[in-house]
Amino acid sequence: MYPEWIRSMPKVELHRHLEGSIRPATILDMFRRNLGMYLDTSLEELLPRMQITGSERSLVDFLAKFEFFMPCIKSRADITRITREVIEDCAAEGTVHAELRFSPAFIQGLTGLSLVEAVEAVLDGAREVPAGMSVSFILGTPQPRGVEVAWDTVKLARDYLSSGVRGVDISDDTRIRSLEEYQAPMEWARSEGLGVTIHAGEAEGPESVRTAVERLGATRLGHGVRAVECDEVLELAVARGVVFEVCPTSNIHTRVAESYENHPMVQLLAAGAKVTLNTDDPGISGISLGHEYQVAISHWGLGPDELRQMNLTAARAAFVDDARKAELAAVVAAWRPDDGSAGGAAGGPRS
Ligand SMILES: [Zn+2]
């Protein structure tokens, strides 16, 4: 658990996968209802198949968790329920703006829904967002699926631009194809007013960051942390004001970083990079956003001021209109810890 002041801090989360944020109890319920499976299996018994236990070694192991539970998702109602619950969970963590990403092509493969129905099922789950909170959706193309799926996805995103879809992404195992293949659909997406964030500098090294920024026009990077392996690439990202969507525990679980102490966040901060804190796949990692804030406090010596600054960065980089950006920035800037316990947390070493 983490202190109440972390929960009460207004948070802006830019990088969270809908499919990786499903409540474990919901997964078990859907296995039972939809497939008649695991009727006599407890949640505790099933949990190691859904979540990282610590023995995993790679991004492939991480993605294998998805492969285990994804077949339990069968219907439009399942997608709507998952979305509604994820938004509830974000609100409970003090998130005032959440950007949830998902792959319509992936949902289509699971449920047989059309791409349009997949998006509408998600949007149905976001009809009752708690007061004061906003949600934007980012449509992702799983990188191994290729450029035709990317075109379908960016066109779909443009069609729903006024309905809550605000950006596009290339995700999944980014080593299968070259990122350059996606240049044309990403350029088009930007020209249509969509935000572009790209998974890079995670499974692949700093050159993927350069490609995402220079060729695909990404203003935000999903992870991007391996930019620190090349001074020139790191300087490029800093000079362009690219925003890093850092997901610390996910990076440990996929072995991008060996430990929190050795996590590239320390170098990103030292280089003056624009960084934000995110969960990536909290359902699989068994974490919350507050957990990641506690990591920043315990392992990197950050305190309320630095965490607030990260939320200001996130507010300004959010895929929302300028009026909402200003509202979010004002809410984040106005917050002060009120229980007196936050001061001590800021006393550690600065990075
Ligand atoms: Zn991700």
Q: What is the pLDDT of residues 299-324, one digit of tens each?
A: 999 999 999 999 999 999 999 999 99
Identify the CATH number of the domain in which residue 272 sits: 3.20.20.140
For residue 75, is it within any domain? yes
> 199: CA distance to ligand 1 center in Å?
7
pLDDT, position 98: 98
Query: What proportion of the chain, given as a percentage, has pLDDT over 70?
Result: 96
Structural domain of residue 113, as residue ranges?
4-345
> 179: CA distance to ligand 1 center in Å?
15
Residue 200 and residue 223 in contact, taking contact as beta carbons nearer than 8 Å = yes
Residue 242 and residue 219 in contact, taking contact as beta carbons nearer than 8 Å = yes
Residue 284 and residue 66 in contact, taking contact as beta carbons nearer than 8 Å = yes
Distances (CA, A) of 326 to 240, 244, 305, 350: 21, 20, 19, 29
pLDDT, position 348: 37
For residue 132, is it within any domain? yes
pLDDT, position 339: 55
Lowest-confidence pick of 72-86, 229-243, 333-347:
333-347
How far apart (Å, rounded) are the C-alpha atoms in residues 195 and 122?
Answer: 19
> 250: CA distance to ligand 1 center in Å?
8
For residue 282, is it within any domain? yes
Lowest-confidence pick of 131-135, 175-179, 315-319:
175-179
> 280: CA distance to ligand 1 center in Å?
5
Residue 274 and residue 243 in contact, taking contact as beta carbons nearer than 8 Å = yes
> 223: CA distance to ligand 1 center in Å?
7
What confidence tens digit (pLDDT) does each residue in 39-86 have? 999 999 999 999 998 777 777 888 889 999 999 999 999 999 999 999
Indicate the pairing of strand 95-102 with strand 165-171.
unpaired
For residue 326, is it within any domain? yes
**Quick one: DSSP state of residue 133?**
-
For residue 351, is it within any domain? no
Q: Alpha-carbon Rg of the chain, whole angstroms? A: 19
What total number of domains does the chain contain?
A: 1
3-state class (DSSP) for residue 280: strand
Residue 119 pLDDT grade (very low, low, confident, very high; cuts 50, 70, 90)? very high
56 carries an active-site annotation: no
> 114: CA distance to ligand 1 center in Å?
24
> 8: CA distance to ligand 1 center in Å?
25
Could you identify the residue written with the tokens 């906003």?
Answer: 134
Catalytic annotation, pick one of 13, 19, 99, 202: 202
pLDDT, position 341: 55
For residue 350, is it within any domain? no
**Average pLDDT in the chain:** 93
pLDDT, position 236: 98
> 205: CA distance to ligand 1 center in Å?
16
> 202: CA distance to ligand 1 center in Å?
9
- Residue 350, pLDDT > 50, answer no
> 254: CA distance to ligand 1 center in Å?
11
- Which is nearest to 321 in space by CA: 124, 126, 134? 134
Element (H, E) at 273: none
**What's the pTM?**
0.94
Helices 147-159 and 115-124 sit at what angle, rounded to 10 degrees?
50
For residue 338, is it within any domain? yes
For residue 206, is it within any domain? yes
> 171: CA distance to ligand 1 center in Å?
6
How far apart (Å, rounded) are the C-alpha atoms in residues 282 and 204?
Answer: 22
> 16: CA distance to ligand 1 center in Å?
7
